[in-house]
Amino acid sequence: MTVVECDTPLLSMLDRSVIEAAYFRDSYRAPLSRPQASVTDIFIAIFAHHPVWMKAILIVRNRIVRLFGLDAASDSEILNFTSKNSYSVGDKIGVWPIYILTENELVAGRDNKHLDFRLSVLKVMDAETASVIVTTICTVHNLFGKLYLFFIVPFHKWGVKRIISNAVAAGRL
């Protein structure tokens, strides 16, 4: 199995009413060759390894959105992913606060003036296979949120699929 787009998993701790009402949502499934990995290890295997050019784009984007008064990660946070030995709800993993953390799922995200987003990393153990499903949901609050997503979604879809594929190819998953 390669990285494939899929439905938002029913097993997710994400609130179903929020998922259904979301202005944007997507989910991607990828195989896990390391089913013993924790969800924090899986999150780090995917999101701590952005290519340099992607980090540069994120820095530029964040500098622009800060001009509009939005909360965004600092350049240092993007350039230097720091990880800890253990995480709890309320801690930051990378640039995002953790909202939910169970044995099989980590939900992080950010609330902002224009939109709220949640990023779920869900470990799924089927009878013979293990996989991860990465889900993003965005709830918009105003026209700026819709406009922002109009420009960001194509890059998001391509970028998320790419960093998951890179994690699979590098053997981090």
Q: What is the mean pLDDT of each run of 10 residues along the chain (173 residues)?
A: 90 90 96 94 94 88 84 84 91 94 96 93 90 97 93 92 95 94
Q: How far apart are CA 107 and CA 111, in angstroms?
A: 13
pLDDT at 170: 94
pLDDT at 115: 93
Q: How far apart are CA 96 and CA 165, in angstroms?
A: 21
- Supply the pTM of this predicted model: 0.91
pLDDT at 55: 87
Residues 6+ apart with CB under 8 A from 110: 71, 96, 97, 116, 117
pLDDT at 135: 97
